[in-house]
Amino acid sequence: MKTYKIATLPHYYQPEIQGRDRVSFDGDYDTVAAARAEISAQEVLIYYTNNGESGRPTLLVVDSVVADYIESGRNEDASNYDWDNAGCGCGGCNACCAMMIAQDRDYIRKHAEQ
């Protein structure tokens, strides 16, 4: 049975060195409509920003398979990232981590349920 999760993409204005821009996932919904209803319920609440956060995060509905792919570190295979655009390609420095987070966020946007 297909299920869905809500992807949270935070927005920070300070330099990203702690992985705070990393995508997180919440919920386990049977339908896209149920996940969207939860997003609507959250968006009417007052949102308090964290230090360095520029506003409310973007909430998107994704298939659980997409969420699992990102949560597992792209199936525990770093070669699934586009390393041609990486600063150094070591996979562990701030530049590489920021690149992987940015690619994960782009992947979520591309695969969000419409």
pLDDT at 10 (0 to 100):
94
- Please state, in angstroms and rounded to a whole number, the distance separating the CA atoms of residues 2 and 68: 13
**Under-70 pLDDT residues of the chain:** 14-18, 87
- Please state, in angstroms and rounded to a whole number, the distance separating the CA atoms of residues 43 and 35: 12
pLDDT at 92 (0 to 100):
82
pLDDT at 15 (0 to 100):
61
pLDDT at 41 (0 to 100):
97
Distances (CA, A) of 112 to 4, 9, 88, 93, 95: 10, 12, 30, 29, 26
pLDDT at 84 (0 to 100):
86
pLDDT at 34 (0 to 100):
98
Model-level pTM?
Answer: 0.91
pLDDT at 93 (0 to 100):
83
* Residue found by looking up tokens 């655009």 in the block: 85
- Tokens standing for 47? 């949102």
Structural domain spans, the chain = 4-111
- Please state, in angstroms and rounded to a whole number, the distance separating the CA atoms of residues 110 and 91: 23
pLDDT at 104 (0 to 100):
95
pLDDT at 37 (0 to 100):
98
- Please state, in angstroms and rounded to a whole number, the distance separating the CA atoms of residues 15 and 34: 35
